[in-house]
Amino acid sequence: EDADKLRAFQERIDAEERIEPNDWMPEAYRRTLVRQISQHAHSEIIGMQPEGNWITRAPSLRRKAALLAKVQDECGHGLYLYAAAETLGVAREEMVDQLLAGKAKYSSIFNYPTLTWADIGAIGWLVDGAAIMNQIPLCRCSYGPYARAMIRVCKEESFHQRQGYEIMLTLCRGNAAQKEMAQDALNRWWWPCLMMFGPPDSASQHTDASTKWKIKRFTNDELRQKFIDATVPQAHYLGLTVPDPELRYDEASGHWQHGAIDWEEFKQVIAGNGPCNAQRMERRRQTEEDGAWVREAARAFAEKEKRRHRV
Ligand code: 3HC
């Protein structure tokens, strides 16, 4: 690509300018954004499965209504993100085909099962908590449509995180069995949530380019640490034990030092061998089939409308 154009582009990024769809951009910048935004969208849509699993079994009407609203929000986040990716010249059908063909990723975290109601609390508190850590900086991403999509997503995520934490608080103030459910959920979700932030910086192939182009404002390890520092005190407030025997507060740095993360498990999960990968993909393929008639009807109606207005 033209060296002058590349230099001018980097100067715009360094000057904190927003890049918009019709601006010139390096092909690699466009490609990495399509990769990240489409996979972010896939994550939101697949994430509806573990959460949706408890809508019919929520313990009260209030909990059911909040969970229903959260799952609908996740679907909306997916649609904003697919729309943001489309501004980069990729069609929605193409992105969905990549997901269904196993060529595109979605967040590792959604390949774990939701075994009890406490998991819905742990997902809101921990998974949406982690998502917020990751998505707040994305509101300042250099690519306009992605940054703007994140602003509304973050507002809705904070409701998701709040309702999840309140579920955990209710269980921890309940009877022994309820508190045990909350502890069991923390035990199963803690480490997969740390993996959600991505591989360690030393093993992250995109971080250098993404930080140079201000797509990423913090590295994977920096965001992971921010999440741990914010969440450990919340676990202590709940009266729960974080399942990491090496966790200890380091006065000098002001950070919680943690034990080793099992990156082999992470590799296995993103390679498709996690507890629920096959089930999530099977379900997503099935819903694609079940929804085909809706897409055909919408297309036929749009064609008819176009003809009607043409005459
Ligand atoms: N799950 C699956 N794949 C992951 C992953 C994870 N948790 N973390 C990293 N990877 C993949 C990357 O996609 C990349 O593979 P690719 O080249 O095929 O895309 C590879 O591992 C190397 O990782 P990198 O750190 O080099 O990749 P990135 O620079 O893209 O960083 C990321 C990974 C931090 C997840 C970044 O892509 C990102 O910030 N994405 C946007 C946020 C996002 O996708 N969040 C998903 C959470 S779901 C959610 O928010 C729903 C909530 O409402 C509950």
pLDDT tens-digit map of 95-104: 999 999 999 9
Atom 21 (ligand 1): residue with closest C-alpha? 198
Q: Say yes or no to pLDDT of 1 above 90.
A: no
| Nearest atom in ligand 1 to 157's CA | 53
Q: What residue ranges line ligand 1, CB within 6 angstroms? A: 35-36, 39-40, 43-44, 47, 74, 105, 107-108, 127-128, 131, 134, 157, 195-199, 204-207, 210, 220, 270
Answer for the pair 41, 85: CB distance below 8 angstroms, yes or no: yes
> Mean of the per-residue pLDDT values for the chain?
97
| Nearest atom in ligand 1 to 207's CA | 29
Burial of 30 (0-12, 13-18, 19+ CB in 10 A): middle
How many angstroms separate the alpha carbon of residue 62 from the centre of ligand 1?
33
* pTM to 2 decimal places: 0.96
Q: Say yes or no to pLDDT of 311 above 70.
A: no
* Residues, the chain: 311
pLDDT tens-digit map of 74-103: 999 999 999 999 999 999 999 999 999 999
